[in-house]
């Protein structure tokens, strides 16, 4: 679990677009805190610390503590609305979390030691099936990421969820009990040659001489036609 990020915020007096615009004019980011069976809390967040975290990997599963006018609130970011032109955040949603909260988050998957994989060294391709894995767990147990070691893997090898180091108390949420995370696939050129088969190559080679033989034959026929005498006129 990553370290808890702390940010400062103040309560918003007004909800809606008017209150949000007022917060932005003051240099703050409008936001809302909801969940944990409590009423939503409208806030405006100081952007200094938040802007450094918002574009980092796994931002939406990093626990945060928001100091709302002296009252700390533990949250997880749930949604970020950004300006399509400037890419600056326009509004944020935070989920309030308590000591017994069970939440669903996306955890990124990291791959290491690609150069130690014989399959990749021989031109194989790392085909990533799952860039993130959905889990359900308590906020304190959220993994920062799952790590896959590619050392010794050959072409055709598959990495499944069962190969991951899953902490106790973390439950995978997948359709398959042992879903595939990644595979070491054969090089594209090799796959295309195998798909064509040996017959294709042989047929191509046979077609070339046949085409070459047809050309002289056609030329000879044309020459014979040119030498033939014209029929006599009556």
DSSP state string for 13-54: S--HHHHHHHHHHTT-EEEEEEETTEEEEEEEE-HHHHHHHT
Per-residue pLDDT at 50: 87
pLDDT at 223: 43
Strand-pairing partners, residue 9, are 45, 68
Residues (pLDDT < 70) of the chain are 1-2, 14-16, 18, 189-234
DSSP helix/strand/coil, 180: strand
- Rounded distance between C-alpha atoms, residue 232 and residue 221, angstroms: 22
Contact 92/79 with Cβ under 8 angstroms? yes
- Distance CA(103)–CA(77), nearest Å, equals 12
Can you name the residues that pair with 80 across neighbouring β-strands? 92
What's the CATH class of domain 5-97?
Answer: mainly beta
16 neighbors 38 (Cβ within 8 angstroms) = no
Distance CA(137)–CA(166), nearest Å, equals 11
What pLDDT does residue 228 have?
46
| Per-residue model confidence (pLDDT) at position 58 | 85
Fold of 104-191: RNA Polymerase Alpha Subunit; Chain A, domain 2 (2.170.120)
pLDDT at position 114 = 94
pLDDT for 195 equals 58
DSSP state of 228: S
| Residue ranges of domains in the chain | 5-97, 104-191
pLDDT at 207: 44
| Pairing of β 125-128 and β 5-11 | unpaired
CA end-to-end distance (rounded Å), the chain: 107
Task: State residue 53's pLDDT score.
Answer: 86
| pLDDT of amino acid 121 | 94
């Amino acid at each position: 679990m990553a370290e808890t990020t702390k940010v400062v915020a103040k309560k918003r007096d007004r909800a809606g677009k008017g209150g949000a615009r007022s917060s932005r004019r003051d240099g703050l980011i409008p936001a809302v805190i909801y969940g944990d069976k409590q009423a939503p809390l409208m806030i405006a967040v100081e952007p200094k610390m938040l802007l450094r975290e918002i574009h980092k990997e796994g931002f939406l599963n990093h626990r945060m503590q928001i100091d709302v006018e002296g009252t700390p609130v533990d949250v997880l970011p749930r949604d970020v609305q950004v300006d399509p032109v400037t890419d600056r955040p326009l509004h944020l949603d935070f989920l309030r979390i308590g000591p017994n909260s069970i939440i669903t988050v996306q955890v990124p998957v990291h791959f290491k030691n690609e150069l130690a994989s014989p399959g990749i060294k021989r031109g194989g391709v790392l085909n990533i099936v799952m860039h993130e894995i959905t889990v359900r767990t308590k906020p304190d147990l959220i993994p920062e990421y799952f790590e896959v070691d590619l050392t010794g893997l050959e072409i055709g090898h598959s990495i499944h969820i069962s190969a991951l180091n899953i902490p106790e108390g973390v439950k995978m949420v997948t359709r398959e009990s042992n879903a595939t995370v990644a595979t070491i696939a054969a090089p594209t050129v090799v796959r295309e040659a195998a798909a064509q088969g040996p017959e294709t190559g042989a047929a191509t080679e046979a077609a070339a001489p046949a085409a070459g033989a047809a050309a002289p034959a056609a030329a000879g026929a044309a020459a014979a036609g040119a030498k033939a005498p014209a029929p006599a006129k009556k």
